[in-house]
C-alpha cells in the first residue's frame, strides 16, 4: 500500500446514471479500511402500506409505478401474484403475450443500461452527452434502438412506461394482425443496429475482478430460458417454490450497514443478467449462444463488471425470442374473444376469493417477488414487494470489501470511478426500493 | 442572463436541469424514449444536470428546471427550495410533481401508522411527511401532467417555457378526446372510469388501449356536477367507489387552498 492512500476519504453523494438515489462511502485510516459501503437514500414511498385497502385488480396499476424502467416487469409480477391469490389460470395465448412483453422490457432496459448508463464509463466520459460530439453514430444508434424497443411495446400494451393493456385476467386490447406485422417490421429493422452493438461489445474492456458468490434466479424443467415462470434456484444447488420466496430472500439486518440485506446459502447473493446466464446459459436462444461464444463468455462467471456483457447476450436472446413469438402468432392468429374488461372488477367479471398469491418474475435487474394477501372481496390486506436491487446491495458491499484492497494503490479518482462503475454494473434500480430498515445520510 | 461569466457559445443556449424527488423516474425515461428527436431538443438547450443519465454537475443559476416527483420528507423540502432559488423557470413534470400522484395515496392513512406498517417499530429512522405536489411547497411556472407524461405535451411546454410564452393545460374532460377517438364508453362496457372528471391532454391514452381513466392528469377545474350526478345515478355507482378511485392520484388536492 502506498503512503498517499494511507488515508482515503471518498463520499459519492447520489451515484449518477443509476435509477434512484444511492451513496458510496469509503474511509481508509492509517492504511486500514474502516468503511466501504453503499447506502440507499431513496425517499420511502411506502408502496406496501398504500396497497392495503385497494382492490387486487388495482395492484398492477399502482405497483407499476414503483419503477418507470421496470414498470412492465412490476406489472407482470403483480398480475401473477394477484392471479395466484384469486386462483385464475392465464390462457396459453395470454402467457405467450406476457412473455413477449417481458422480452420487450429486457430489450428496452438492457439497451438503456448498456449504451446510456454503462458505456460512458468504458469510454471515459461523464455521460452520453459528450458522446454526441465524439461518437455521434453510436448515440444515434442507441436512441434509435431504444425508440424501436419502446415502439413495439407501445403497439403491444399502449406504452412502455406504465403499460396500459396488461391486467389481471389477460389483455384489455389484443394486437391485430396489422399490429403483429408492425412489431415484426420494427424488430427486423433493428437487425443491423444489433449487429453493430455486438461489434461494439467485442471492443469493450472491463476491469478484471473476481469474487465467487451465489447466483440466484428462476429455474425450470423445460427448455425455455425462464423469465416469466419457474421456481427459485441458485448456483449453490438450491431450488425453492415461489410460494416460499421468503426462504430465498431471507431479509436480515447487518450491523455493518443499515439497509435490509438478503442471503441464501452464503453471506450474500447476486441476482440479475449474470445470475441468469450462470444458471441457464444452456437454454439461451441459439443466436444468443453464438454471441456468448464469440465473446468468450462462459458460465460460471464471477466478475460482476461483466453483468453488462450478460445483458448484451440477453438482449440478443430476447430479440430473437420475441421474433419467434411474433412469427408464431402471425401463423396461428389470435383469439380476440380473450380480450378482457375488468376495471376494479365492480361487475364481478372475475370470481374473487380470499387468498395469498406470489408472483416471481425475472426483470432486467434480477428476480422480483410480489406477494399479496386478500380478503374475500379481493381487497389487499398485506403486501410485500422484494426488488432485485434490494437483494444485490449486500453483494455489492462484499464486492467492495474484496475490491478496495486490490485497487487501493491507484489514484483516488480511479478508485472512486471503479467503485461507481461496480455499482452501475449491477444496474441498480434504487427508486424501486419498497422497504429498507434504516438509512444513513452522508453529510 | 445570470450566467454572463460563462463563455459566449455555451451561454447562448438556455441552461436546463432535471431533478427528481419521490417518484418512479418514468417521466425522465420518457425523455429518452423520444428517440433521435432528443438530439434536436439537445441542440436547442444545454442540459447541465440530469442525474439519471449524466454525471455532470452545475453550480450556477438555471434558466429552466424540470422537477419530477413529489415532496415527501424534510430533506426534499429544503432541496426543492434551494433549487427554486436558483431557477428562473420551474416546470412541474409528471403526476407526482403536479398532483402528488401515486405517492399521494399515503395521505389516505395516518402517517405514523402507514410508516410503522412498512418499517416496523424503527419507522422513525425514515423521515416522512405528508406527500405534497411541488406547487404546495414552491411556486410552479408550468405544469406537465400525466403518469407518465405524454411526450408531445413535453415538447409543447418546453417550446413555450424557452420562449417565455404561457402554456394552458387543457381543462376539458378526457371524454372530449375519447369521443373523437371513437372508443366505446367504459360505462357502456360495465366499468366506471374517471374520464368525465379528468383533464384531457393525453389523447385518452388509457381508454384507447381498453383500460379505464385513472385520473392521473388531475381533476378539471369546473367539473359538470349535474352531469356527474346523472352518470352516478344512471349506472348505479357507489359514490365511495368513485372517491376511492380519485384518491389514487388526487388525494393531495385536499390540501390546496382555494
In a domain, B3, yes or no: no
Same domain flag for B140 and B15? yes
Chain B residues with CB under 8 Å of A172 CB are 209-211
Q: Which residues of A54-72 are buried (b: 16+ CB within 10 A; e: fewer)?
A: bbbbbbbbbbbbbbbbbbb
Q: Which of A79, A62, A55 is nearest to B105 (CA)?
A: A62
In a domain, B169, yes or no: no
Residue A18: what pLDDT? 58
C-alpha cell at B121: 417499530
A389 against B176, higher pLDDT: B176
Same domain flag for B142 and B179? no
Binary contact (B29, A68; C-beta < 8 A): yes
CA separation for the pair A386, A194 (Å, rounded): 32
Same domain flag for B155 and B36? yes
Binary contact (B42, A45; C-beta < 8 A): no
Same domain flag for B124 and B26? yes
Binary contact (B42, A129; C-beta < 8 A): yes
At residue A275, φ and ψ (nearest 5 deg) are -65, -45
A328-355 residue pLDDT tens: 999 999 999 999 998 888 888 889 999 9
Chain B residues with CB under 8 Å of A161 CB are 26-27, 29-30, 33, 148
Residue A403: what pLDDT? 93
Average of per-residue pLDDT across B58-63: 89
CB-based contacts of A126, cutoff 8 Å, min separation 6: A16, A120, B54, B55, B56
pLDDT, tens digit only, all 443 positions of chain A: 444 566 777 777 666 655 556 778 888 887 777 777 777 666 678 899 999 999 999 999 999 999 998 999 999 999 999 999 999 999 999 999 999 999 999 999 999 888 887 788 777 787 777 888 888 898 889 989 999 999 999 999 999 999 999 999 999 999 999 999 999 999 999 999 999 999 988 888 889 999 999 999 999 999 999 999 999 999 999 999 999 999 998 766 554 444 566 778 888 999 999 999 999 999 999 999 999 999 999 999 999 999 999 999 999 999 999 999 999 999 999 999 999 998 888 888 889 999 999 999 999 999 999 999 999 999 999 999 988 888 898 899 899 999 999 998 898 888 888 888 898 888 877 555 544 433 232 32
Q: Provide the shortest C-alpha distance from residue A433 to chain B (in Å).
A: 10
Q: Provide the shortest C-alpha distance from residue A431 to chain B (in Å).
A: 6
Chain B residues with CB under 8 Å of A424 CB are none
Binary contact (A159, B115; C-beta < 8 A): no
Binary contact (B209, A65; C-beta < 8 A): no
**What are the residue ranges spanned by the domains of chain A?**
47-432
B184 touching A (Cβ < 8 Å): no
Q: Provide the shortest C-alpha distance from residue A398 to chain B (in Å).
A: 25
Same domain flag for B37 and B85? yes
Same domain flag for B134 and B154? yes
Chain B residues with CB under 8 Å of A143 CB are 32, 35-36, 38-39
A59-98 residue pLDDT tens: 999 999 999 989 999 999 999 999 999 999 999 999 999 9
Final residue in a domain of this structure, among B134, B163, B192: B163
Chain B residues with CB under 8 Å of A165 CB are 209-211
Q: Please name the residues between 149 and 178 in chain B that touch chain A, using a CB distance below 8 Å.
A: none
A-chain residue closest to B51, CA distance? A16
Q: How many CB pairs under 8 A join A and B?
A: 199
In a domain, B207, yes or no: yes
Structural domain count, chain B: 2
Chain A residues with CB under 8 Å of B245 CB are 344
Residue B1: what pLDDT? 38
- Percent of the residues in chain B that have a pLDDT greater than 90, as a whole number: 61
Same domain flag for B28 and B142? yes
B-chain residue closest to A340, CA distance? B210
Q: What is the domain-level CATH number for residue B121?
A: 3.40.50.700
In a domain, B22, yes or no: yes
Chain A residues with CB under 8 Å of B20 CB are 431
CA separation for the pair A104, A125 (Å, rounded): 28
Final residue in a domain of this structure, among B163, B190, B215: B163
Q: Tell whether the model's pLDDT for residue B122 goes beyond 80.
A: no
Residue A14: what pLDDT? 64
Same domain flag for B144 and B244? no
Length reported for chain B? 258
Q: Provide the shortest C-alpha distance from residue A170 to chain B (in Å).
A: 12
Which of B24, B68, B184 to probe the A interface (max A CBs under 10 A)? B24
Same domain flag for B182 and B222? yes
Residue A252: what pLDDT? 65
B27 touching A (Cβ < 8 Å): yes
A248 touches A240 (CB < 8 A):
yes
Q: Does residue A253 sit in helix, strand or coil?
A: strand
What string of H, E and C letters represents the secondary structure of A295-346? CCCCCCCCCHHHHHHHHHHHHHHHHHHHHHHHHHHHHHCCCHHHCCCCCCCC
Q: Could you give the residue ranges of the DSSP H alpha helices within A52-176? A: 59-64, 71-86, 92-111, 119-122, 128-134, 136-157
Q: Give the domain range for residue B248.
A: 174-255
Same domain flag for B124 and B189? no
Q: Tell whether the model's pLDDT for residue B4 goes beyond 50.
A: no
Same domain flag for B140 and B94? yes
Which of A11, A17, A40, A44 to probe the B interface (max B CBs under 10 A)? A44
Chain B residues with CB under 8 Å of A111 CB are none
Q: Tell me the ipTM for this assembly.
A: 0.92
Weakest mean pLDDT among A420-429, B148-157, B241-250: A420-429
A56 touches A47 (CB < 8 A):
no
Instruction: State the pairing for strand pair A231-234/A22-29.
Output: unpaired
Same domain flag for B157 and B185? no
Among A117, A158, A339, select the one facing B205 at the smallest CB separation: A158
Q: Tell whether the model's pLDDT for residue B257 goes beyond 50.
A: yes
Among B26, B55, B212, select the one facing A162 at the smallest CB separation: B26
B188-239 residue pLDDT tens: 888 999 999 999 999 999 999 999 999 999 999 988 888 888 888 888 888 8
B208 touching A (Cβ < 8 Å): yes
Within 13 Å and on the Cβ side, how many CA atoms surround A354? 4
B186 touching A (Cβ < 8 Å): yes
- A47-432 under CATH 1.10.20.10, yes or no: no
Amino acid at each position: 500500500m502506498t503512503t498517499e492512500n494511507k488515508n482515503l476519504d471518498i463520499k459519492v453523494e447520489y451515484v449518477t446514471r443509476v435509477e434512484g438515489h444511492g451513496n458510496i462511502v469509503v474511509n481508509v485510516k492509517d492504511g486500514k479500511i474502516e468503511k466501504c459501503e453503499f447506502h440507499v437514500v431513496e425517499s420511502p414511498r411506502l408502496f406496501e402500506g398504500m396497497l392495503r385497502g385497494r382492490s387486487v385488480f388495482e395492484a398492477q396499476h399502482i405497483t407499476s409505478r414503483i419503477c418507470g424502467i421496470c414498470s412492465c416487469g412490476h406489472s407482470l409480477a403483480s398480475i401473477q401474484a394477484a392471479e395466484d391469490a384469486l386462483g385464475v389460470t392465464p390462457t396459453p395465448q395470454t402467457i405467450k403475450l406476457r412473455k413477449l412483453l417481458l422480452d420487450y422490457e429486457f430489450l428496452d432496459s438492457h439497451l438503456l443500461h448498456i449504451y446510456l448508463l454503462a458505456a460512458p464509463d468504458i469510454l471515459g466520459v461523464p455521460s452520453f452527452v459528450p458522446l454526441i460530439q465524439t461518437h455521434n453514430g453510436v448515440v444515434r444508434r442507441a436512441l434509435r434502438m431504444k425508440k424501436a424497443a419502446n415502439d413495439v411495446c407501445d403497439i403491444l400494451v399502449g406504452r412502455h412506461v406504465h403499460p396500459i393493456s396488461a391486467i389481471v385476467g389477460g389483455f384489455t386490447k389484443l394486437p391485430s394482425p396489422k399490429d403483429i406485422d408492425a412489431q415484426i417490421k420494427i424488430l427486423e429493422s433493428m437487425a443491423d443496429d444489433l449487429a453493430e452493438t455486438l461489434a461494439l461489445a467485442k471492443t469493450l474492456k472491463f476491469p478484471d475482478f473476481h469474487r465467487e458468490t451465489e447466483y440466484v434466479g428462476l429455474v425450470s424443467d423445460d427448455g425455455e430460458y425462464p423469465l416469466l415462470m419457474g421456481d427459485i434456484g441458485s448456483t449453490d444447488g438450491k431450488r425453492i417454490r415461489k410460494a416460499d420466496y421468503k426462504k430465498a430472500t431471507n431479509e436480515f439486518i447487518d450491523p455493518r450497514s443499515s439497509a435490509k440485506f438478503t442471503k441464501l446459502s452464503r453471506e450474500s447473493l447476486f441476482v440479475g443478467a449474470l445470475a441468469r446466464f450462470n444458471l441457464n446459459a444452456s437454454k439461451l436462444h441459439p443466436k444468443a449462444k453464438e454471441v456468448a461464444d464469440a465473446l468468450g463468455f462462459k458460465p460460471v462467471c464471477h466478475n460482476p463488471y461483466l453483468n453488462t456483457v450478460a445483458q448484451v447476450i440477453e438482449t440478443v436472446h430476447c430479440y430473437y425470442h420475441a421474433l419467434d413469438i411474433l412469427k408464431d402468432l402471425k401463423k396461428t392468429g389470435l383469439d380476440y374473444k380473450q380480450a378482457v374488461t375488468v376495471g376494479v372488477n365492480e361487475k364481478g367479471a372475475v370470481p374473487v376469493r380470499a387468498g395469498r398469491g406470489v408472483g416471481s418474475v425475472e426483470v432486467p435487474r434480477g428476480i422480483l417477488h410480489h406477494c399479496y394477501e386478500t380478503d374475500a372481496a379481493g381487497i389487499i390486506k398485506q403486501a410485500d414487494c422484494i426488488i432485485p436491487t434490494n437483494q444485490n446491495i449486500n453483494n455489492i458491499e462484499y464486492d467492495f470489501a474484496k475490491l478496495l484492497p486490490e485497487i487501493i494503490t491507484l489514484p483516488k479518482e480511479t478508485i472512486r470511478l471503479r467503485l461507481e462503475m461496480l455499482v452501475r454494473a449491477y444496474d441498480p434500480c434504487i427508486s424501486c426500493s419498497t422497504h429498507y430498515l434504516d438509512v444513513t445520510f452522508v453529510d | 442572463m445570470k450566467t454572463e461569466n460563462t463563455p459566449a457559445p455555451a451561454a447562448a443556449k438556455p441552461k436546463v436541469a432535471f431533478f427528481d424527488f419521490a417518484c418512479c423516474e418514468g417521466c425522465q425515461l420518457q425523455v429518452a424514449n423520444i428517440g433521435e428527436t432528443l438530439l434536436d431538443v439537445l441542440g436547442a438547450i444545454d442540459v447541465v444536470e440530469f442525474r439519471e443519465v449524466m454525471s455532470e454537475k452545475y453550480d450556477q443559476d438555471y434558466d429552466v428546471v424540470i422537477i419530477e416527483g413529489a415532496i415527501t420528507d424534510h430533506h426534499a423540502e429544503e432541496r426543492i427550495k434551494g433549487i427554486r432559488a436558483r431557477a428562473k423557470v420551474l416546470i412541474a413534470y409528471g403526476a407526482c410533481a403536479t398532483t402528488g400522484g401515486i405517492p399521494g395515496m399515503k395521505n389516505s392513512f395516518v402517517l405514523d401508522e402507514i410508516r410503522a406498517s412498512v418499517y416496523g417499530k424503527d419507522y422513525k429512522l425514515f423521515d416522512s411527511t405528508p406527500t405534497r405536489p411541488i406547487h404546495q411547497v414552491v411556486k410552479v411556472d408550468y405544469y406537465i401532467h400525466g403518469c407518465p407524461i405524454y411526450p408531445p405535451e413535453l415538447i409543447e411546454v418546453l417550446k413555450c417555457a424557452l420562449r417565455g410564452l404561457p402554456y394552458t393545460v387543457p381543462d376539458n374532460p378526457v371524454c372530449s378526446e375519447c369521443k373523437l377517438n371513437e372508443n366505446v364508453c367504459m360505462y357502456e362496457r360495465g366499468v366506471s372510469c374517471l374520464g368525465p372528471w379528468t383533464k384531457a391532454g393525453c389523447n385518452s391514452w388509457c381508454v384507447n388501449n381498453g383500460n379505464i381513466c385513472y385520473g392521473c392528469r388531475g381533476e378539471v377545474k369546473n367539473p359538470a356536477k349535474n352531469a356527474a350526478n346523472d352518470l352516478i345515478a344512471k349506472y348505479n355507482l357507489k359514490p365511495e367507489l368513485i372517491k376511492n378511485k380519485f384518491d389514487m392520484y388526487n388525494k393531495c388536492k385536499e390540501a390546496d387552498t382555494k
